[in-house]
Structure 1
């Protein structure tokens, strides 16, 4: 990006002083969201189920000068969600401006092959976890005086695919 474009963008939009939590921020769209928020000046905390990947990404963001911290967290686990929000509260002094519910899972197999466990894991990760994170983050969002919640979804919600589910997790 040209230097004039960067300064023009910065003069129009800044997230300096803002804080954000992005779930599933070490791959795909979550990674891009972390980079955009941090690029606009926000302090960002993200999570991943994989410590190695989280550490790699944090080092990359540090090299770029971004203020990004992270936690290992499987959002499908209630106790890990509780710990994540405690860490975010501690990191951001009890305030959060932006919660991005991005972490998700899908199962790739014929609908007739999807098990009750597959369905429970999908709903637990994609629906229950996001809803619960909103509940847990509510006091932090309210304390910021300027809280926003963003839900990331898939085009699969409106477009049919050959397989109903795809076993893949962020």
Structure 2
């Protein structure tokens, strides 16, 4: 029997994002945190944001110790002003070019549908849906300038399967919205 040669390669040999730039909204916890780590671990230079400055600084310090190229700033993506400022910071940081936009931010208010207020509705729509749409508009010139662009929306199974997450959250995370 002939000897079998090993054709498997390490992750580093198969995948590399060296030279690529990425913006991950809400990158300091949960899925966003894991995405930042993965992109940075593959060699991308990552910019992220969080509403929580203390948490952001803690994460930036951790990533620096790991040797990752990650920067970030405080931003509440529910605020149009904050989104505009974030886009300007990212444009400046990456010299007007961006390869990857990850619309990760999402939040929820857990209560029965009949108990939602118009303020609850507005907050969830601004945070989960409007911010992602607007970030795409703001990032478009940067993505186009890079010549190799990708946009990722983090959705939820709650958008297609009945879960006890609340009807407004489900509507904002419906994969068919995009």
Under a length normalisation based on structure 2, what TM-score does the superposition of the two structures give? 0.87
Verify the 8 A CA contact 1:19 1:98 in the aligned structure 2. yes
Tell me the equivalent position of 1:105: 107
Query: How many residues matched?
Result: 161
For residues 166 and 157 of structure 1, the distance between their equivalents in structure 2, rounded to whole angstroms, comes to: 10
For structure 1, which runs of at least 5 residues remain unmatched after alignment? Answer: 1-6
Verify the 8 A CA contact 1:108 1:165 in the aligned structure 2. no
Q: Tell which structure's C-alpha radius of gyration is larger.
A: 2
SS at match of 1:69: strand
For residues 55 and 26 of structure 2, the distance between their equivalents in structure 1, rounded to whole angstroms, comes to: 11
Aligned residue among 128, 134, 137 for 1:135 = 137
Tell me the equivalent position of 1:151: 153
SS at match of 2:76: coil
For residues 24 and 104 of structure 1, the distance between their equivalents in structure 2, rounded to whole angstroms, comes to: 8
SS at match of 1:31: helix
For structure 2, which runs of at least 5 residues remain unmatched after alignment? Answer: 1-8, 170-178
For residues 83 and 21 of structure 1, the distance between their equivalents in structure 2, rounded to whole angstroms, comes to: 13
Verify the 8 A CA contact 2:158 2:165 in the aligned structure 1. no
Q: Which has the higher contact order (CA 8 A, sep 6+)?
A: 1
The alignment's C-alpha RMSD in Å is: 1.4
1:42-53 → structure 2 map (5 Å cutoff): 42-53=44-55
Following superposition, the deviation at residue 163 of structure 1 comes to: 4.5
Following superposition, the deviation at residue 159 of structure 1 comes to: 2.4
Following superposition, the deviation at residue 158 of structure 1 comes to: 2.0
Verify the 8 A CA contact 1:106 1:165 in the aligned structure 2. no
Tell me the equivalent position of 1:15: 17
41-50 vs 7-16, greater mean Cα deviation? 7-16
Tell me the equivalent position of 2:126: 124
Runs of 4+ in 1 over 3 A off after TM superposition: none
156-165 vs 18-27, greater mean Cα deviation? 156-165
